[in-house]
Structure 1
């Protein structure tokens, strides 16, 4: 694990939580690098977690210290699907750069510390809702498929239904028993 900056890795927000009301707030986000754009002197990444997407900016000012230069160098090495923790200050994107398609499209995080939590090889398909992938490939790489928004929504619905059923049964005085002797193992 490469660490530049703070070694505190606990996130303060999810990638889908930040809004204009969070401008000038110090935050720490953790997630997957969804996309990477290097504009020579400025690196933009879209950081994704289960809750959404936030743009993170790595800027190398002309008057930067060694730590900032190291972080910028590490940011330029980032690739899709790497897992990172990024800390920084929330700032407005500016009206010409806003993305109305995203709930977080009015803000971005200017990164002040970066930790690479895990590197990733190229994945066989991108876990987004627009990926056209065969069912065979999706089943073979189920751990990636489960990150697609459609699958995540289905898992959340199933979770809510199961939680509701458990709550009703618990309030009725029932207990939940899980034992292989009472159920068929498959």
Structure 2
């Protein structure tokens, strides 16, 4: 029996536990990983995160290992191929959004040098450390996720509502929402 305590949302599967223990809330500053999480989070809109985690390797293979330069240039026949891929979420709007988001991602890189410089400027380059007593105390959105969402949309990103953006912030460590009794909080 395990003797460590984790955030309550991740205890239902080994995959969830591994993701929680190794990735969630860990600051990410490299563009390829930020793009991967952006794509995964946009596909998660309206679905559970475990659904996405279970399909993550399929997404990785289907989207050329999240190479945003390749994704940005996907032609219509590639989009149709992705629509036939049963290993991913086959939502045409989300697939097309992945392509346009890759293009917007590169536009942001051109303007700011890296996407990382752009996104982390909202937190002055440092994670926001929240202190939720339990996972139930963690909000779905914040005024900051509202602000980032609005700015991303202005730059042409799709499926980046405030809830998606806040989940992205959590996944990439821009915010640390580990519960008070979670072993990651102590770390």
Query: Computing the radius of gyration over CA atoms, which structure comes out larger, 1 or 2?
Result: 1
Higher relative CO (Cα under 8 Å, sequence separation at least 6) belongs to 2
For this structure pair, what is the TM-score category when the shorter chain's length is used for normalisation?
Answer: under 0.3
Q: Name the one with the larger helix percent.
A: 2
* Superposition TM-score, scaled by structure 2 size: 0.23
